[in-house]
Amino acid sequence: MKGGFFVGSTFGKLGNITKTTSPFRAIKRNRVCPPVTVWRHSQTSCTTPPSSFYPPFCKRESSTYSPASAPLSKMGDTSTTIRYVDIGINLSDPVFKGRYHGKQVHDDDLDDIIQRARDVGCRKFMVTGSDLEESKHAIEIAQKYPGFCYATVGVHPCQAKHFDIFPGGPEKLLDELRSLALDSKKAGHAVAFGEIGLDYDRLFLSAKEPQLKYFEAQLEIAVEIQLPLFLHSRAASDDFERLLAPKLEKLPNRGLVHSFTGTLEEMNRMVALGLDIGVNGCSLKTEENLEVVKAIPLDRLQIETDGPWCEIRPSHASSKFLTGAPPLPKAVKKERWQKGLMVKGRNEPVAIAQVAHVIAGVKGITVEEVCEAAWTNSIKMFGLGEEAP
């Protein structure tokens, strides 16, 4: 999009997922895991693998997840140790507990979703907070899965109008965000401030003035607490960079431009500001997107799924690079869900392996190079219970 770039989830219907509990929902919402082995097969479909290729998590009888005791999965003879961080996953969305449009459609399968991701090598999640309540929920998930899940705290630009109608006023909401972020950082659960930024493409959700005002206010909190940033921008690059640049000088770890879909020039400006670039399925839709991803410096690359949105689809330019990627479990309509299966249109962190394979193909390097670079960058920026390289 000329004159701006999008960092964040898409609005409207994506697969079987639309609005859940609020209009904003449709937009988005120190234990070290042991190494895993990753299955590779160049001839098998990535979308409908035969049952013999399903990994062991499809047969698990217990849905209780334990980071210390969860089994490793050997997914083939041609394997290597790979580790991922999914730096943007909206696990607070009710669809990950089987609720769609306020209705319980199938069992809560969050533990299985996490295990599926673990089975392809995903060792760390960053659960996105998009408003006060979702940030609290993200922290709760981080508390439930210590050493594996971490959280962000912040209010998305499309929610900016809620500052002025918050009980007790906007300062009360800012104070609550500050306290939540500070306490959760001290406890080791909150690792970034966000998802914050500007979104001028959806001013019908929040007008420009409150977006500008409360983006700046939240930047001040992030600087005060010294949390790196988890950022969103759409069609607002001039104002976004103007407000952001002076604050970055006070944040040694800077931050991440999440779900980047902007131009090559915009990407270069973000990198020049000292920011990393987050890539997911929405970053890989078009040939132009792929050219941008090809040019992202490896030392500024991080990867994500942004589930339940931003899946890689057969119509995307990126799909031709999926040969050799680990196949996803079979996906069915939500009404036909069974344990061990994915839900159509509900992107999951298990797909992080596909994102990495596409990036590797686009850049002409190995998946291992992509994963290790992204892992190193995520640990350096966010910590995530690991010693910085």
Question: What distance in Å separates the CA atoms of residue 197 and residue 95, rounded to the nearest whole number?
Answer: 25
- Closest by alpha carbon to 329, among 134, 39, 108, 85? 39
Q: What is the pLDDT of residues 185-238, one digit of tens each?
A: 999 999 999 999 999 999 999 999 999 999 999 999 999 999 999 999 888 999
CATH number reported for the structural domain that contains residue 121 in this entry: 3.20.20.140
Q: Which domain holds residue 352?
A: 23-382
> What does the pLDDT read at residue 80?
53
> What does the pLDDT read at residue 22?
43
| Buried/exposed 201-231: b ≥16 CB within 10 Å, e otherwise | bbeebbeeebbbebbebbbebbbebebbbbb
The percentage of residues in the chain with a pLDDT greater than 90, rounded to a whole number, is 76
Asked which of 60-64, 124-128, 239-243 is least confident by mean pLDDT, the reply is 60-64
Establish if 387 belongs to a structural domain: no
pLDDT at 38 over 80: no
Q: What is the pLDDT of residues 93-111, one digit of tens each?
A: 999 999 999 999 999 999 9
Q: What is the pLDDT of residues 276-306, one digit of tens each?
A: 999 999 999 999 999 999 999 999 999 999 9
> What does the pLDDT read at residue 232?
95
Instruction: Give how many domains the chain has, as a whole number.
Output: 1
- Listed in sequence order, the residues at least 6 apart from 144 whose beta carbon sits closer than 8 Å to its beta carbon are none
For range 133-141, the mean pLDDT: 98
pLDDT at 25 over 60: no
Cis peptide upstream of residue 170 (ω within 30 degrees of 0): no
| Contact (Cβ atoms closer than 8 angstroms) between residue 275 and residue 58 | no
Q: What is the pLDDT of residues 309-358, one digit of tens each?
A: 999 999 999 999 999 898 999 999 999 999 999 999 999 999 999 999 99
> What does the pLDDT read at residue 234?
86
Establish if 3 belongs to a structural domain: no
Q: What is the mean pLDDT of the chain?
A: 84
Establish if 17 belongs to a structural domain: no
Establish if 349 belongs to a structural domain: yes
Establish if 270 belongs to a structural domain: yes
Establish if 7 belongs to a structural domain: no
Establish if 10 belongs to a structural domain: no
Establish if 294 belongs to a structural domain: yes
> What does the pLDDT read at residue 88?
98
> What does the pLDDT read at residue 387?
82
The separation between the first and the last C-alpha atoms of the chain, rounded to the nearest angstrom, is 36
> What does the pLDDT read at residue 272?
98
The percentage of residues in the chain with a pLDDT greater than 70, rounded to a whole number, is 79
Q: How confident is the model at residue 46 (pLDDT cuts 50, 70, 90)?
A: very low
